[in-house]
Structures are given as C-alpha cells and as structure tokens.
Amino acid sequence: EKGGYEHFMLKEIYEQPDAVTDTYRGRMLVEQSLIRMAGVDDNLERFLNADRIIIVACGTSWHAGLVAEYIFEDIARIPVEVEYASEFRYRNPIIGSKDVVIAISQSGETADTMAAIKLAKEKGAFVFGVCNVVGSSISRETHAGAYTHAGPEIGVASTKAFTTQITVLSLIALKLAKAKGAISNSDFQYHLEELDLIPEKIKQALASNEHIKKVAHKYMNAANFLYLGRGFNFPVALEGALKLKEISYIHAEGYPAAEMKHGPIALIDEKMPVVVIATKKGHYEKVVSNIQEIKSRKGKIIAVVTEGDQDVRSMADYVIEVPDTVEALTPLLTTIPLQLLSYHIAVMLGKNVDQPRNLAKSVTVE
C-alpha cells in the first residue's frame, strides 16, 4: 500500500508530479489557451462581480490560501483576504451577498472550516469549495467547487494536498484574470505552458533528495529552525516550518524575510539553522541582503535557490536548487525540498512520521 516507500508521507511527496497533472488534466487546455472548470464557469458572474474574495481554511490549507492571495491579487487583480476559519467564525465578520468565499480543505471535514462556510452562507455569500475528498461534508455544503484530485492523502502531514490546492487556485486565478482582461493573451498562454512544465520540474526538485538527506543529517539536532521567504514564497516558509514542527517536534517559525529585523533576528546565533527561500525572482536582492544579515550573526543558512544561482551559493552553508519557473508558480517547486527536509529530519530522529503525536488527519472538533 505504501508502494515500496517507507512511509505514506514520502510516497505522497513523490506522487506530486502525477497529482498536479491530475489536478489540471481536462481543465487546462494549453493548445486552445483555455481553462475550463465547471464550478467556476457556471458561476462566472458571481466571481467577476465580487468585491473581494475571502479565503477560509486551517493549517496547511490556510497556507495554500495565502499563496492564492498573492496569485489572485497579482494576476487577476481581485482583492483577497485570507482568514483562519476558526477566527472568522467567531469574529462577527462583515460579509454580504457580493462576497465570494473560497473554503479550502483537504479532508472536507474540518469543523472550523465547516462552521465558517455555514456562517458565510447565512450572510448571503457565495461559497466555493476546494476539497480533496470527493463527497466530503464541505464539498456538499458549498454552492460549487473544484476538487484537487490529489488522490488519498494518508500521512497526517499534508504534502500533495498543498501543491494541488495551489494548482487549482492558480487555475481559477488565471481563468478569472482572462475573463476580466487583467492578463494579456500571451501572458495567459505563457502561464499555462509554465504550469504544464511543473510536474517535470517537481521531478527535478525531487532529484535533490540525497543531498537534502545530508542537510537533514547536519541539522537534525537543532532545537529551533527559522524559515524565511518573501512574496509568493512567504507562505511557503510558514508551511515549511509547520511541516518540521508537526513531524519532528523541533520548534520552527516561518517569517516574511524582511520581518526578521523586527524581532526574530535576536534569536540568531551559530546554533540557529535558517532556511531561506531565495529564488531568482522579485525581491531576490532583498533576500540576499537578509541572508547577509543572518550570516553576520553566524546563523547557518540553508537556501532554496534557482538552478545555477551563484550569489547565494557563495554565502550559504547549503544550497538546494529548484528549476526556474514563472514567479507565481515558484511555490509549487520551493515547497518540495522543505517537505523532504522535514521528512528526513523526523525519520532520523526516529519519529512517527505518518502519525505524529497529538495530531489527527481530519480535525472534526473545534
């Protein structure tokens, strides 16, 4: 059942090239320069007339929502707010019939997300679900939706659900951008072609596995980790930190790189590994200067970089390369090494990777 892998989590990490392909198959028609998604097509006016989109979710799904915020705002120019479902449901949110709410949930059973959906519906909002489990409670409770088609995810630490959620949300953002005229035809086509290359590039990212194992071995005994990223990759930093916490029980925090100087930099010394996402895209120079700040305080730098990068290599203790792609899609690649890093650290520490203590696959109580 684990298909020759030692754990479900590792199997699911390796399934991502296929899972992402399954997510866009039949929806993204590259040759016709078209995205077809019934749940969106049937409700296009609701989406196009929305004053804003509110995304509600928990945990890793919330991180996918944060990535989507960057993508929707950048590509489709629609204002987005991302909320923890648990906060949204209890804070008497201002929401009405012109709002579109997107609820993201792998299991489709998360109690807080379900309660947020019910509240949004009561207030007249249109609620769209992005679920993995077909026929789940949330997929039934929402007005429309799109499944991620990632296949069953057994490992408690979410991996392929995250990348396929980002894939679905990217498709929706691109589709709305096209319908609104917020993106040129050539840029739209370019994004489709780039998305079509992502599964192959995930495979290339997975090929760093042995190298990542060495990094894991080097830092497995650290008591704390920091994860830093900017822009589209800030939520990836949060997700990397969550993965490490969940399965290795090492304390980790994710931050937007520039926030470091507002506090967390005080934590940095020679014992602190800092994972920095530093792909050669917007903000690259800024991230490089953040790396210099860490270096001058003797922090250990593990950098996720674009293939062929030399500048960061000269400063970092370890670099892990991912292939280049269009900026909005970089999270689909930068996430991969962070999943593997946390996996290997947890295995080396002898932890129960697939069923970490205190956690359940679906959180059906609030």
Q: How far is CA 127 from CA 50, 90, 103, 121, 350, in A?
A: 12, 18, 7, 7, 42
Task: Report how far residue 295's alpha carbon sits from residue 195's, in angstroms, rounded to the nearest whole number.
Answer: 35
Site of interaction with ligand M6R (CB under 6 A): 58-61, 105-107, 110, 113, 156-158, 246, 359, 362-363
| Strands laid side by side in the 99-105 sheet | 80-84, 52-57, 99-105, 126-131, 144-147
- The nearer residue to ligand M6R, 106 or 335, going by C-beta atoms, is 106
- The nearer residue to ligand M6R, 61 or 290, going by C-beta atoms, is 61
Task: Report how far residue 271's alpha carbon sits from residue 131's, in angstroms, rounded to the nearest whole number.
Answer: 40
Query: DSSP assignment, residue 129?
Result: E
CB of 104 to ligand M6R, least distance (A): 7
- The nearer residue to ligand M6R, 90 or 190, going by C-beta atoms, is 90
| Residue of 26, 50, 53 whose CA lies nearest to 38 | 26
**What are the two backbone dihedrals, phi and then psi, of residue 292, each rounded to the nearest 5 degrees?**
-60, -40
The CA-CA-CA angle for residues 281, 170, 195, to 5°, reads 65
Q: How far is CA 334 from CA 33, 85, 163, in A?
A: 26, 26, 10
Active site residue 361: yes
CB of 133 to ligand M6R, least distance (A): 8
> Which secondary-structure segment (H or E) carries 318?
strand 318-322
CB of 148 to ligand M6R, least distance (A): 10
Q: Helices marked H in the chain — which ranges?
A: 8-14, 16-24, 38-41, 44-48, 59-71, 85-88, 111-122, 137-141, 160-180, 185-206, 209-219, 234-248, 284-296, 331-348
Q: Are 256 and 230 within 8 A, CB to CB?
A: yes
- The nearer residue to ligand M6R, 314 or 358, going by C-beta atoms, is 358
CB of 199 to ligand M6R, least distance (A): 22
CB of 360 to ligand M6R, least distance (A): 8
How large is the angle between the packed helices 331-348 and 185-206, nearest 10 degrees? Answer: 20
Which residue among 123, 213, 295, 361 is the active-site one?
361
CB of 263 to ligand M6R, least distance (A): 24
Task: Report how far residue 58's alpha carbon sits from residue 116's, in angstroms, rounded to the nearest whole number.
Answer: 11
Q: Are 127 and 96 within 8 A, CB to CB?
A: no
CA 41, 46, 48, 50 dihedral sign is negative
CB of 5 to ligand M6R, least distance (A): 18
- The nearer residue to ligand M6R, 239 or 327, going by C-beta atoms, is 239
Q: Which residue is nearest to ligand M6R (CB)?
A: 59
CB of 158 to ligand M6R, least distance (A): 4
- The nearer residue to ligand M6R, 23 or 105, going by C-beta atoms, is 105
- The nearer residue to ligand M6R, 132 or 279, going by C-beta atoms, is 132
- The nearer residue to ligand M6R, 158 or 279, going by C-beta atoms, is 158
Q: How far is CA 253 from CA 109, 202, 250, 281, 309, in A?
A: 27, 25, 10, 23, 26
Task: Report how far residue 111's alpha carbon sits from residue 114's, in angstroms, rounded to the nearest whole number.
Answer: 5
Which residues form the catalytic set? 361
